[in-house]
Amino acid sequence: MDLYDQHVHSRHSFDSQADPGANVDRAIACGLAGLTFTEHFDTHPDDWTGCTYDDEAYSATISRLRTDFGDAVFIGKGIEVCYQPDRMDFVLDFLQRHDFDMVMLSVHYFGSLAVYRRENWTGLDTVTGTRSYLETVLDAARFCQRLHQTHGRVFDVLGHLDLVKRYTQRFFDAYDISRFDDLLDEILRTCIAADLVPEVNTSTLRQELAEPMPDADTVTRYARLGGETMSLGSDAHRPEDVGAGFEWAATMLRKAGFHHTSIFKERRQVMIPID
């Protein structure tokens, strides 16, 4: 079974100190067929000053790794864009001027507030905050759908679509995504219309939660809505987390009725059998 980790961070992201070569070593040790680095590109004014993204240095690292490791494993150059409605013209211009294997769009905010900052939850309960986050994800997916209608696919993968549950669990020791099934279904339908592949993000399996993002129920409903494929990502910020939880996630996808995962090479989608 060929599995690819399409959500990996290294020292080229502000929140990771991982050596890129150590990430590749770990991918090979885990038996992965490939990994794609997805370094953070965060343009919110509160984040931009700390965004360490340097495309020249990052590209040089990818080139060196590909030379060092040869055909032993696929090494992709990706990017994780934080969805910021007021900054998307800047983001789109940046993407047009740079080359990637895969472009991921992730939502880390609910409305104009960072979901991962405890102070932004003041006066909010978990239900209100979760709904606000998922509505922002739906807004992001609809943005991708509009782009797809006029420009083709600009974003390839939607990262961790129910990330909010990581923080309601961390801050309030509670989460409940199931009550938002209708909203989740609308996000998933929009992903299909936008040619946007949802990610199964396994990072929560090694953190506070016993389920990935999204969970098995959401993955199954996505298949029933007509979704044909998903992407796998560990969201690793340390080499030891590359590929973590992938056998579990692949089994979940098979049980839901999926036969392939999707990877991206030079922005072209490739279907990889998981049967």
What is the domain count for the chain? 1
Per-residue tens of pLDDT for the chain, all 275 residues: 699 999 999 999 999 999 999 999 999 999 999 999 999 998 887 776 777 789 999 999 999 999 999 999 999 999 999 999 999 999 999 999 999 999 999 999 998 899 999 999 999 999 999 999 999 999 999 999 999 999 999 999 999 999 999 999 999 999 989 899 999 999 999 999 999 999 999 999 998 898 999 999 999 999 999 999 999 999 999 999 999 999 999 999 999 999 999 999 999 999 999 97
Q: What is the pLDDT of residue 100?
A: 98
Nearest-angstrom CA–CA distance, 199 and 90? 24
Q: Provide the 3-class DSSP secondary structure of residue 90.
A: helix
Torsion of CA 254, 250, 195, 107, to 10 degrees: 130
Whole-number Cα distances in Å, 211 to 92, 189, 205, 206: 33, 22, 6, 9
Domain region containing 226: 4-273
Where are the alpha helices (H) located in the chain, listed in sequence order?
20-29, 45-48, 55-69, 88-96, 126-151, 164-172, 181-194, 216-224, 246-256
Burial class (CB in 10 A: 0-12, 13-18, 19+), 275: exposed
Residues 111 and 124: beta-carbon distance below 8 Å: no
Q: What is the pTM of this model?
A: 0.96
Distance CA(235)–CA(227), nearest Å, equals 22
Residues 158 and 194: their CA atoms lie apart, in Å, by 11
CA distance 233 to 268: 18
List all residues 6 or more positions away from 95 whose beta carbon is below 8 Å from its beta carbon: 79, 81, 103, 154
Give the list of residues 6+ apart from residue 114 with CB closer than 8 angstroms, or none: 44, 46, 47, 108, 120
Check residue 1 and give its pLDDT. 66
| Residue in the structure block whose two tokens are 């606000």 | 132
Residue 149: give its domain's CATH number.
3.20.20.140
